[in-house]
Amino acid sequence: MKLYRTASSLVIEDGGRYYPMNGRSFDSFVCDNDLYRTLDGIVSRETPLHGLDIENLRAPIGDQEVWAAGVTYYRSRNARMEESKGGGDFYDRVYSAERPELFFKSMPRNVVGPMGTVRIRRDASWSVPEPELALLVSPKAEILGYTIGNDMSSRDIEGLNPLYLPQAKVYDGSCGLGPCILIQKEPIVASTKIQMDIVRNEEVFFTGTTSLTEIKRNLQTLVEYLFRDHTFPHGCFLLTGTGIVPPDAFSLQARDEIRISIDGIGMLINTVA
Ligand code: DO4
Ligand code: MG
């Protein structure tokens, strides 16, 4: 099943049909103790809609904070080591350490949804999108579903000094999420492919792929670390790191279109302001 949020309601997609989830907030859904039964009940009771109101899709989020894991792919470790002016060793050490890198990414109010506009910082000279599998996690630390995340990053700022990471990562329009939550009881399969295309002047300027087989960390272990001595009453999102890094000569420009696809979830499209 997939869960969408539109301007007027939550919508469940099941077997190619769309069912309204009237009167339920996104947060009540994340905190539901018997979510799958609730969803099955809605699908069996409700009359399907004529279709999905694509024009009015919103980021599938309520009151959840967005957190992110870093340096979970070898590709990301190498890119950080190369960009870093003196702190390269940090990235190698965190890649090999038992404790993962976890950082705060976004308040819900700053999250950009499908077809929304993401931003590059005005004081950055080297900006990239980071296409990542995002986990929706319940207050009890259960992975409820999966979506697509874009961890927009300023590589020059982080490269100057790893302590500048929050400035490189957290600013207005720096986090994309959507288009829907893939809800399933079984873990997402390791062969799941992630692809990113960046379109400039109507042509594909960059394309890259990876798959979840490349991720070094176990997803549930990342969640376990995030929830250690940290309570999330509304649950949270956790971006799981990037395995796609454009070549060093590449930096995003205004009007670039970022298309991120993950098997089984769909495609998140955002334009750079
Ligand atoms: O250590 C910096 C952040 C890395 C990151 O965001 C990633 O690997 O996706
Ligand atoms: Mg990232």
Q: What CA–CA distance (Å, rounded) separates 187 from 196?
A: 22
Q: What is the pLDDT of residues 99-153, one digit of tens each?
A: 999 999 999 999 999 999 999 999 999 999 999 999 999 999 999 999 999 999 9
Cα dihedral sign, 83-88-93-99:
negative
Q: How confident is the model at residue 2 (pLDDT cuts 50, 70, 90)?
A: very high
Taking the CA of 164 as reference, the closest ligand is 1
Domains of the chain and any CATH numbers: 2-58 (no CATH), 65-272 (3.90.850.10)
| 229 pLDDT higher than 90 | yes
Mean predicted confidence (pLDDT) in 251-262 = 98
- Prior bond of 114 cis (ω within 30°): no
Ligand 1 centre to CA of 91 (Å) is 9
Q: What residue's CA is closest to ligand 1, atom 1?
A: 70
Ligand 2 centre to CA of 109 (Å) is 19
pLDDT of residue 87: 82
Q: What is the pLDDT of residues 15-37, one digit of tens each?
A: 999 999 988 999 999 999 899 99
Q: Are 9 and 22 in contact (CB under 8 A)?
A: yes
Residues with CB under 6 Å of ligand 1 are 68, 70-72, 76, 80, 101, 130, 151, 165, 241-242
Q: Which residues contact 116 (CB under 8 A, 6 or more apart)?
A: 59, 176, 270, 271
Q: How confident is the model at residue 88 (pLDDT cuts 50, 70, 90)?
A: confident
CA angle, corner 143, sides to 27 and 189, nearest 5? 135
| 266 pLDDT higher than 90 | yes
**Percentage of the chain exceeding pLDDT 70:** 100
Q: Check residue 71 and give left, alpha or beta (phi > 0: left; psi -120 to 50: alpha).
A: left
Regarding pTM above 0.85, the answer is yes
Q: What CA–CA distance (Å, rounded) separates 269 from 256?
A: 11
